[in-house]
Amino acid sequence: MATIKAVRGTRDLLPPDTNLWNHVEATARSVFARYGFGEIRTPIFEATELFARGVGEETDIVSKEMYTWEDRGRAESDRGQSLTLRPENTAGVVRSYIEHGMAETGMLEKLFYIGPQFRRERPQRGRYRQFWQIGAEVLGPPWSGSDSALRDAEVLEMLATLLNELGVKGWRLALNSVGSAEDRQRYSAALRDALAPVKDKMCPDNQRRAETNPLRVLDSKDPNDQEIIDGLPKIADFLSEDSRTHFEQVKAALDACGVAYAIEPRLVRGLDYYTRTTFEFTVPDGSGLGTQNALLGGGRYDGLSEMLGGPKTPGIGFAIGEDRLILTLRAQAAEQAAKKLDAFIAPMGVAQNPGALKLAQELRHAGLSVEVGDGSFRLRKSFDAADKLARKMIIFGEDEVTSGILTVKDFSKGEQEKIAREELAAALKN
């Protein structure tokens, strides 16, 4: 009979890998807490319309990558509703913000999330159909200071701190401003005009983009088209006074904090809701990501709340590709020191099993990590198992029970000592 396997583009995360996942998430939580972020958990599926309106009907994500189905509820109210597994989390967070009237506090909200997202793409290294994002959003009514450049810089500085604390090497921050929605509109029109006479000479992909989304032409990697692209109008020339000032303020604050960045006029992000500041953190070749070298991306989305029918709520946020972060850490890290248990108890004979379990209970209650072997194991087998799992092995046999003195082998030193049972927990902590 055919065995059932994890569906394409999904995978199991197993120990010891999950240790690294937990480490990454714990570090992120710790950093976020220091910057005043609280955790939000939104549903894994939402009304399809949320993403259509928020992320943008024309984006690849919405037009061809979503897992969407029609609900079959009994109630008239939910029958036939179109639902979608979330392809990203920002729209859900903003929906929740509006729904719970968080704007009414007049305060800035700082929210972070960690969770799976779903996109139906061709799987590849660093790209899965169920993938994890660690993200955060800063949002609030305009009078909360949510549109201040200070917040952009704070978020970027926080990301630099997080990557450094995780030990990511060689990261690079690419920064750009795509301007307000109006700036973008004008720039897009200018690009279309500039491309019209020359697009026939470009590759088919770029010809298509010139029509549908001219900003994306800037991203093109096609070497033959670079000359044309270099000659296109620059976004910087289309920024309004406000947008320009805002961008300058972001840069000034980053300079003050010593966060290095590279201005990249061609950095255009694909989601429709981005305005003004956009950014991306990449890692160098050889960091385990292949061509998917974007570790995280984000930007400002001053109009998103209104697109979803909410009050004017400027915001800025980012999403880290946790799968990619893990790949990078694994590729960059020298041999990961395997986490070992504090002790392995080897009962000598099945008659000692109950007593061995009792000893394990005592040690575990004392805060130690302990595994128990089985009395049927030969001593040699116990040694083999213990050496793989634990730093020390406790021999638990008749002699030890009657004398109350336990034999403890320390694998790192290769030494063996006798320790009284009352002192065992304390001794194992060293």
Partner RNA sequence: GCGGCUAUAGUUCAGUGGCAGAACGCCGCUCUGUGGCAGCGGAUGUCGUGGGUUCGAACCCCACUAGCCGCCCCA
- Residues of this chain that interact with RNA (CB under 7 A) are 2-3, 7-9, 59-61, 88, 119, 121-128, 131, 133, 205, 209, 216, 219-222, 269-271, 280, 290-292, 294-298, 319-321, 323-324, 348, 378-381, 383-384, 387-388, 395, 397-400, 407, 409, 411, 414, 416
Q: How far is the CB of 127 from RNA (least distance, A)?
A: 4
The amino acid sitting at 276 is: R
Long-range contacts of the stretch 377-380 (C-beta < 8 A, 24+): 377/346, 379/346, 379/348
DSSP codes, 161-182: HHHHHHT--S-EEEEEE---HH
DSSP bridge pairs for 370:
343
Matching residue, tokens 């779903």: 118
Nearer to RNA by Cβ, of 31 and 103: the residue is 31
Nearer to RNA by Cβ, of 271 and 363: the residue is 271
First to last CA, the chain: 51
Q: How far is the CB of 295 from RNA (least distance, A)?
A: 5
How many helices (H) does the chain have, and how many strands (E)?
15, 16
CA proximity to 94, closest of 162, 148, 34, 46: 46
Q: How far is the CB of 297 from RNA (least distance, A)?
A: 3
Nearer to RNA by Cβ, of 53 and 269: the residue is 269
Q: How far is the CB of 327 from RNA (least distance, A)?
A: 9
Sheet containing strand 109-118, edge to edge, reads 38-39, 109-118, 130-139, 315-321, 294-300, 275-282, 172-177, 262-263
Nearer to RNA by Cβ, of 81 and 161: the residue is 161
Radius of gyration of the chain (CA): 28
Q: How far is the CB of 249 from RNA (least distance, A)?
A: 24
Nearer to RNA by Cβ, of 118 and 238: the residue is 118
Most distant CA pair in the chain: distance in Å? Answer: 95
CA proximity to 371, closest of 408, 412, 396, 343: 343
Query: Cα–Cα distance between 315 and 108 in angstroms, integer?
Result: 9
Nearer to RNA by Cβ, of 131 and 238: the residue is 131
Nearer to RNA by Cβ, of 103 and 134: the residue is 134
Do the Cβ atoms of 380 and 405 come closer than 8 Å? no
Q: How far is the CB of 412 from RNA (least distance, A)?
A: 9
Q: How far is the CB of 371 from RNA (least distance, A)?
A: 14
Nearer to RNA by Cβ, of 49 and 398: the residue is 398
Task: Check residue 6 and give left, alpha or beta (phi > 0: left; psi -120 to 50: alpha).
Answer: beta
Nearer to RNA by Cβ, of 141 and 297: the residue is 297
Q: How far is the CB of 31 from RNA (least distance, A)?
A: 17
Q: How far is the CB of 102 from RNA (least distance, A)?
A: 23
The tokens for 16 are: 């010891």
Q: How far is the CB of 186 from RNA (least distance, A)?
A: 20
Nearer to RNA by Cβ, of 103 and 166: the residue is 166
CA proximity to 67, closest of 91, 92, 44, 40: 44
The tokens for 421 are: 């049972």
DSSP codes, 76-118: TTTTT-EEEE-S-SHHHHHHHHHHTTGGGG-SPEEEEEEEEEE
Q: Which residues contact 121 (CB under 8 A, 6 or more apart)?
A: 9, 65, 127, 129
